[in-house]
DNA sequence: CTTATTGCAAAGTGTTTGCATCTTA
DNA sequence: TAAGATGCAAACACTTTGCAATAAG
């Protein structure tokens, strides 16, 4: 919603990123990008690896870690840590800036937007003379709505 | 500043927490608490362990991990992840609520306060019917001030 | 044909667990 | 003296690294 991109557009971005950095175009890199594109929500390296293996794609963990770095560097994905020692990722194309609500009961992650955060970022940057490139705002708590309860039931899904 | 607590007050809090949960009072638990009390800034389990070993205190990593859980549960410390796979802790007594600025060049962490965050927390909680217990707001960027440059020089210290 | 990239396995790192030994209550 | 806590080492989970084989340009 808003500024969705097709896999072709995203490939083109990745393509020109690779070219600009003198990195080679390999089938593995594009298959990781495709898989990331298919993710509807947050994912981690292991889940991505298993998913790809399950689809009989030829890939190794090392290559996924390698490619993830390139995708981060080209701003096609974002990295998060939601209070656990596992890096979570999400694609950063096709969605507007948002932050996260994390349920401490079911680990489910919800997204929200609030323009005031950007104001705080700007004024804090000025105050500290800090060149802020990005932020992470996480609210931790317990979801209570019926609609959320549903999610809460299939605990620890991701 | 504001509501500092002495080690005696903190011990009393820990003491009554342990009693209320039926946990035993052990010298190790109190020596971890003392060490945490002595920390002026963020710390992690390994740094705490090495510091204690250096002071010839008898302690094991396992016991520190164990005690850290109790200190978290009794709200005497807070846990953070600043974008790395290492849990960072800080004492949560004797200081007011604050958030963090993380320098991507030198890994140094700065603290700031902004009351607007609490407003966002309240309205987001209402909007999602989420019972929010706490939050983490991290700004990532590069520090530029001379005063900060100093910190930046002894890279990777904390 | 040169050199970046892949993929495996080994090593690294932070954390958790199992269990025998101690110690608190 | 019984249940809980400690401490060591082994196990774990995620990530990084070394290196021979492969493939992009």
pLDDT tens digits, one per residue of A15-72: 999 999 999 999 999 999 999 999 988 999 999 999 999 999 999 999 999 999 999 9
Across the interface, whether the CB atoms of B120 and A141 are under 8 A apart is answered: no
Are residue B66 and residue B29 in the same domain, yes or no?
yes
Task: Report pTM.
Answer: 0.84
The torsion angles phi and psi of A103, rounded to 5 degrees, stand at -85, 125
Closest amino acid to nucleotide D8 (CA–C1'): B60
Reported as a pLDDT band with limits 50, 70 and 90, residue B132 is: very high
* Cβ of residue B61 lies below 7 Å from strand D: yes
For residues B9-23, average pLDDT: 96
Same domain, A101 and A152: yes
- Strands across the sheet containing A109-112: A109-112, A99-103, A130-143, B130-143, B99-103, B109-112
Range of the domain at B64: 1-94
**% of chain B residues with pLDDT over 70:** 88
Where residue B145 falls among pLDDT bands split at 50, 70, 90?
low
The whole-number pLDDT of residue B107 equals 80
Residue of A114, A130, A140 with shortest CB distance to B139: A130
Average pLDDT on B35-41 reads: 94
Instruction: Give the residue from A94, A112, A139 where a domain finishes.
Output: A94
User: Nearest to residue B68, comparing CAs of B85, B41, B39, B91?
Assistant: B91
Same domain, A129 and A90: no
Q: Which of A94, A118, A146 is the last residue of a domain?
A: A94
Position A3 scores a pLDDT of: 59
Q: Is the pLDDT of residue B138 over 70?
A: yes
CATH code for the domain in which residue A48 is found: 1.10.10.10
Give the pLDDT confidence score for residue B154 in this predicted structure: 42
Instruction: Kindly state whether residues B35 and B82 are assigned to the same domain.
Output: yes
| B117 and B87 within one domain | no
Rounded Cα distance, A47 and A50, in Å: 5
Residue A69, pLDDT score: 97
Mean pLDDT of the region A117-143 = 94
My answer on whether B119 and B78 are in the same domain is: no
């Amino acid at each position: 919603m808003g500024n969705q991109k097709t896999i072709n557009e995203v490939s083109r971005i990745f393509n020109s990123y690779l070219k600009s950095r003198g990195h080679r175009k390999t089938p593995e890199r594009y298959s990781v990008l495709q898989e990331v594109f298919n993710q509807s929500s947050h994912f981690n390296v292991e889940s991505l690896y298993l998913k790809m293996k399950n689809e009989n794609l030829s890939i190794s963990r090392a290559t996924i870690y390698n490619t993830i770095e390139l995708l981060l560097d080209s701003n096609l994905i974002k990295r998060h840590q939601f209070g656990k020692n596992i890096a979570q990722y999400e694609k950063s194309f096709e969605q507007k800036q948002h932050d996260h609500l994390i349920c401490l009961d079911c680990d489910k992650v919800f997204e929200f937007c609030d323009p005031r955060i950007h104001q705080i970022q700007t004024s804090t940057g000025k105050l500290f003379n800090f060149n802020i490139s990005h932020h992470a705002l996480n609210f931790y708590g317990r979801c209570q709505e019926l609609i959320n309860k549903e999610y809460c039931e299939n605990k620890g899904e991701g």
